[in-house]
A and B are shown apart, each in its own frame.
Chain A
Amino acid sequence: MIKPILNTIICASILPGLVISNNVFALELTGKTGIEALGFFQDAKFPEQHSFYGSVAIEPELYQQIDDNSEIRAKLFYRYDANSTSRTHGDIRELMYYRYADDWEIHAGIGKVFWGTTESRHLVDTINQIDNIESLDDEQRLGQAILQAKFIRDWGTVDLFVLPGFREVDFGQSELRPNLGLSTTSDALYQSSDKDRHIDFAARWNHTLDDLDLGISYFNGTQRTPLLNPVLVNGQPKLQATYVQSQQLGVDAQYIADDLLVKFEGLHRASHKVANTGAFSEYDSNAFVLGGEYTLIGIAETAYDLGLIGEYLYDEWEETTPFQKDWFTGLRWVLNDEQSTEVLFGNIYDLDDGSQIWQLEASRRIAENWKAEVTGRWVTNVDTNNRFLNAYKQDDLVSIKLDYYF
């Protein structure tokens, strides 16, 4: 399917110039495939849910060089879950044409962009929608249609983005676990009449100034995080995902003070709220994450490093996140061994109501091309008014992944 397209592009790029047969590069295939066991400790909230979900996933990556200055990269993803139709899903993570020059680049296609520095929350990272099915902690994102120009200058790197089209959050069906507890309506509500065809714009400047890495970003378009509006459908209460138009200014920074990394992400949003009547009103809000990571190198005369992470989370917009005033504590244990063993432990403590989220992630290479990963997540002391954490109250989980890299 893809190869004929690539061959066409290769021919198209070579024909105008000299026809040099040895200039045609081979298609490279790499990637990973693996199995996941996802288990839950408590009884399910809904009869459709299970206590165990078993699945297989594949993530092939394709690389095709076209000439010295251009290439195509693709990354596909598919998971089949024997116990869940919602978790059985796929995505084009990347299908991007790249053209490079010394001090500029053009990217066109579907891809992923990362902005940010902090550990507990990816606040300013805006371009890609969250893959809600795949993500336990916002690390997995959906591919986004992108037209990007990059300019690399002495005074920093500037990226300009045109983002045609929008991806909705997939909240899954009732058998998905965890889920929000109230099923969502099939149709999302959009503020823009262009709906998911609204063309968004973004720009970012980033630069290194001695020990400071600084980024300033701007985004104008459909806000990735939806508002969840309660509505009645045939007399049944449901949530309707509502996507508003937003402008936001973001700052991300990291400063190196010897063994201490000071990290900051801040956001000002000029956005909108929606009333139960469906009427939109302007709403401005601020949010930031400020903290640091201090690394103890070679603890107790071993090769082990221990990172101590502390971050304060602040967000004025209650409808979009549970992190109004929260404190994140993290421990990162890096063994620096042959198997690249790493353990990350995290706790987010809600300073308003005392609710807590805990997470433990451990990974290790167990053979030449095999890697194992274990993630546990649970909540404690959940306040009845904390609606985000209440949704996860009966969903303490453990996930075991085994991946083969090819």
Chain B
Amino acid sequence: MKKPLILALGVTAFSLLSFNAYAETPEEKGLAIAKEADARDNGWGDTTANMKMVLVNKQGETSEREIRTKTLEIMGDGDKGLTIFDKPRDIRGTAFLTFSHVTGADDQWLYLPALKRVKRISSRNKSGPFMGSEFAYEDMSSQEVDKYTYKYLKDEACPGDASLTCFVSERYPVDEFSGYTKQVGWVDQTHYRPMKIDFYDRKGSLLKTLTLSDYNQYLDKYWRAHTMEMVNHLTGKKSILTWSNYQFKTGLTDSDFNKSQLKRLR
């Protein structure tokens, strides 16, 4: 049964080729793209970053929010995340702890500094606005392959950078409490970075568009968008996130994401 190694490799290469050319369904290809993007973003360990969010209403009036985030990569499950609010000042010191899970509801706690109270909250409210912005809680939570099913559509020049070619795929949230029926994503074929996502609401109509830009690479591997603009097509409002001071592998551990630690935050 033994084959010369070189022949075995040749057979494998041939079968992959034929699989790609003839047998891979759009669903399989969509999933493969998501898995590749996920694989390329594995192993970052932990990150901290600062975020500024500008809310712009239809009249062009703006208001600002500032938060700091800490994230711990959890292999085999969703990540752990900590969000500390600095602005507006009336909610300064409020902190939000999330253990996201691939299957089932996330665990979430909110710390209210004025009352020195840690409050466990229900995580079913995924579709609700994050801090009054056009971002929903589910847009801000950790993106896991198994949270969606996929369907590859086509290749197309990337929005925002026509020199790159993008995979265009649809993905459908598995969670019945998602605010969306479908998302259409543009992912660049060189680095597998999301460039644009269209969000379709429960009635199936286009609700919002997210554009990701100003990508920087960290640790020679991990790409992070520093500008994210979400436009709501129904209300004409938009929210612009600007990320700064990204740090990787800062030595965060599980104990930094214990609910008892919320009161320590500053």
Contact = CB atoms under 8 A, between A and B. Distances in A.
B89 interface: yes
Contact of A98 (B133, B258, B264): B264
Interface string B131-143: 0110000000000
Contacts of A114: 115-117
A338 B57 contact: yes
Contact of A405 (B63, B90, B115, B122): B90
B91 A103 contact: no
Contacts of A256: 105, 120, 122
Contact of B89 (A65, A258, A337, A406): A406
Given A152-B255, A369-B90, A338 B132 contact: yes
B224 interface: no
A329 interface: no
B115 A297 contact: no
A295 B122 contact: yes
B128 interface: yes
Interface in A121-161: 139, 150, 152, 157
B90 A208 contact: no
A100 interface: yes
Contacts of B115: 114, 139
Contact of B127 (A113, A213, A295, A297): A297
A192 interface: no
Contacts of A261: 120, 122
B124 A340 contact: no
B99 to A, nearest CB: 10
B55 A338 contact: yes
A120 interface: no
Contacts of B91: 340
B260 A157 contact: yes
Given A63-B266, A258-B124, A152 B260 contact: yes
Nearest to A102: B255
B125 A297 contact: yes
B28 interface: no
A298 B116 contact: no
Interface in B248-266: 255, 258-261, 264, 266
B89 A369 contact: yes
B129 interface: yes
Interface in A273-316: 295, 297-298, 303, 305
A153 to B, nearest CB: 10
A371 B117 CA distance: 21
Contacts of A112: 116
A336 interface: yes
Nearest to B132: A338
A369 B259 CA distance: 28
Contacts of A213: 120
Contact of A339 (B105, B127, B132, B179): B132
Nearest to B122: A256
Contacts of B88: 340, 365, 368-369, 405
B210 to A, nearest CB: 18
Interface in B178-224: 179
B226 interface: no
A371 B90 contact: yes
A160 B88 CA distance: 35
B128 A297 contact: yes
B52 interface: no
Q: In this complex, which of B90, B124, B255 has the most chain A Cβ atoms within 10 angstroms of its Cβ?
A: B90
A157 B263 CA distance: 13
B52 to A, nearest CB: 14
Given A338-B63, A365-B88, A405-B89, A298 B128 contact: yes
A368 B63 CA distance: 7
A340 B129 CA distance: 11
Q: In this complex, which of A65, A305, A405 has the most chain B Cβ atoms within 10 angstroms of its Cβ?
A: A405
B128 A305 contact: yes
Nearest to A128: B116
B132 A100 contact: no
A375 to B, nearest CB: 15
A207 to B, nearest CB: 10
B92 interface: yes
A321 interface: no
A406 B117 CA distance: 22
B107 interface: yes
Contact of A100 (B92, B133, B264): B264
Nearest to A156: B260
A214 to B, nearest CB: 11
A32 B93 CA distance: 13
Nearest to B253: A102
A359 to B, nearest CB: 17
Contacts of B63: 338, 368
A71 B265 CA distance: 11
A103 B255 CA distance: 8
Contact of A303 (B117, B122, B129): B129
A46 B258 CA distance: 52
A65 B264 CA distance: 12
A150 B266 CA distance: 19
Contacts of B116: 112-114
Interface in A249-278: 254, 256, 258-259, 261
16 contacts: A32-B90, A63-B266, A71-B266, A98-B264, A114-B116, A152-B260, A157-B258, A254-B120, A258-B105, A297-B124, A298-B179, A337-B132, A365-B88, A368-B64, A405-B88, A405-B92
Interface of B: 55, 57, 63-64, 88-92, 105, 107, 115-117, 120, 122, 124-125, 127-129, 132-133, 179, 255, 258-261, 264, 266
Smallest CB-CB A-B distances: 8 pairs: A405-B89, A338-B132, A114-B117, A157-B260, A371-B90, A336-B129, A213-B120, A114-B116
Given A139-B115, A405-B88, 5 more contacts: A157-B260, A256-B105, A256-B122, A297-B128, A405-B90
